[in-house]
Amino acid sequence: MTDPNGLIRPGRPAPDFSLPATPDGQHTGPGEYRGRPVVLAFYPADWSPVCGDQMALYQAAMPEFDRYRAAVLGISVDSIWSHRAFAENQGIAFPLLADFEPKGEVARAYGAYTPRGEAARALVVLDPDGAVAWSHLSPPDVNPGADGILDALERLGTDRQVVAG
């Protein structure tokens, strides 16, 4: 990354957090998925066309993430109500977390907050112990796809097999 204070780098422990995931007040965060890889997909906003594509794509790709037992969490500064409508519209079943109050706190902790007041389009893959295994920052208007995430999950699986063997 060009910004020295930019996106969190591999090898660092991932800051734990808990954010609202549903309108009835349920919270979730990476700590709840310890023992599994976690994919954090920060994105600028619900409803912007690229985001729609990106989150919808991750829903369609869910069987592939499942093969690595990975949990996928989408995160933006939108409210939980916006997330709910967006998820219904796009058929998204994985949690979309509201980094809404204090605004962008989690995105800031990961170095994924922009001066526009939105999350950057950033991907962070955590290993099962909660350390950052891979991170990637995209331009806001570029959908990064899922291949980088799947490559990172595959490397995690291989590394662990090597350690276990």
Long-range contacts of 82-86 (CB under 8 A, 24+ apart): 82/46, 82/47, 83/46, 84/22, 84/23, 85/46, 86/46, 86/47, 86/52, 86/55
CA 36 to chain centre: 14
Decide if 51 is catalytic: yes
Find the binder of other proteins among 39, 72, 80, 92 (CB under 8 A): 92
Q: Which stretch binds other proteins (CB under 8 A): 24-32, 35-43, 108-116, 135-143?
A: 135-143
Which one of 51, 73, 112, 119 is the catalytic residue? 51
- Nearer to other proteins (CB atom), residue 29 or residue 153: 153
Find the binder of other proteins among 15, 27, 61, 130 (CB under 8 A): 61
What is the C-alpha to C-alpha distance for residues 159 and 165, in angstroms, rounded to an integer? 10
Q: Which stretch binds other proteins (CB under 8 A): 40-48, 77-85, 87-95, 101-109?
A: 87-95
Find the binder of other proteins among 4, 25, 35, 63 (CB under 8 A): 63
Residue 156 token pair:
């995690």
